[in-house]
Structure formats: structure tokens, C-alpha cells
Amino acid sequence: MRIIGLAGWSGAGKTTLVTRLIPIFIARGLKVSTVKHAHKGFDIDLPGKDSHRHREAGATEVFVASGVRWALVHELRGEREPDLVDILPMMNPVDLLIVEGFKWHRHPKIEIHRPEVGKPLLHPDDDYIVAITSNAALPQANVPVIPLDNVEKIADVMQVESMPAERLRRMPAKG
């Protein structure tokens, strides 16, 4: 399994880009999975559903299974947030694992930058950013800059720059 990330500030278009890239990788014959970091609490359960009621009652884990999909919800209840290294063993092996977020983790990433978001580039402070995709020219960049609408080229770079997941090591959070 190889791993590559997409990093950027909120509003830069990470999720939109991921959803455009996945069909390209699948058309290339790759099996793809994703890991998404959420900064705030999130819920995949709907209030009132049985699994939500189990969790609200205090269950640490709730596993929901059907003939179509399954999901495991684990409540941290004061435990530390899992690091990317903790998550990888929970994933089934695939050809390419795309990580959305985890912007300060040490894995190869493509930064998504939109000047209109009003945030600085991550890349000068992150040696793991291998390229930037943007809707603007970035002459100050020290890594390749790919136009945001050139999704095929972004996919090419992601395949080349991805690394074997087993090389990922635990690291303290930076931010």
C-alpha cells in the first residue's frame, strides 16, 4: 500500500479534489481508500437511530453492519486522538491510500492553495510537501506547481510521489 496526502487550509478544496481524483485512479486500475481528518467532532450516526442511541448510552464502540456496508464508531471518551500511524493498521490494504488533512504529519503531500482563502502557503514550513496545486501562479514556490484544474497531472504526481505506507513513522503533532 502506498500513501500520499492532500493538505491545505479549510476552504481550499481538498474534498472536491479527492472526489475528482478517485475515479481517475480507479480508471487506472488502482484500488483506492481515503483517510479524512476532521478538526471538530463529527457524527456519522443520526440522532434517534439505534446505533446512535447505543453510543449515547455509553458504548465505547458501535459496529453497524448491513448487506451494503459496515461502519465502526469508536468514542474516544477522553483518550488521545489517533495518529495517522494508529489508523493505518485499521485499513484494509489497497494500492493507494489518499490522506486528506493531517497537514502536519510526515508523509508526502500535495498542498492545495487558493489565495482567496487568505491563508499562507504551508510548503515553506513543511519538507513533506512535494508539489502545490493552485488556481494562481506561485513563483515563490520551491516545489512544482500544478494548475488546480489539471487533475490528470495531479494524479500523475500523486502516484510518483506516494510512499510505501510501512515507511510511515509515529511523530508528535506539530499543530
**Residue 74 C-alpha from the chain's centroid:** 19
Domain contains 126: yes
pLDDT at 170: 63
For residue 175, what pLDDT band results from cuts at 50, 70 and 90? very low
Domain count, the chain: 1
Closest CA to 24 of 126, 110, 96: 96
Q: Return d(Cα 71, Cα 59) in angstroms, integer.
A: 15
Q: What is the span of the domain harbouring residue 130?
A: 2-40+80-167
44-75 pLDDT tens trace: 777 888 888 898 888 888 988 889 988 888 88
**6, three cell numbers:** 492532500
Domain contains 155: yes
Domain contains 93: yes
CATH, residue 143: 3.40.50.300
Contact partners, residue 158, CB within 8 Å, separation at least 6: 4, 21, 96, 98, 110
Domain contains 7: yes
7-24 pLDDT tens trace: 999 999 999 999 999 999
Domain contains 64: no
Could you tell me if 14 and 100 are in contact, meaning their C-beta atoms sit under 8 angstroms apart?
Answer: yes
- Percentage of the chain beyond pLDDT 70 is 95
Domain contains 125: yes
Q: Return d(Cα 112, Cα 11) in angstroms, integer.
A: 10
Contact partners, residue 94, CB within 8 Å, separation at least 6: 1, 30, 31, 32, 33
**Bridge partners of residue 65, in order along the sequence:** 70
**Residue 126 C-alpha from the chain's centroid:** 16
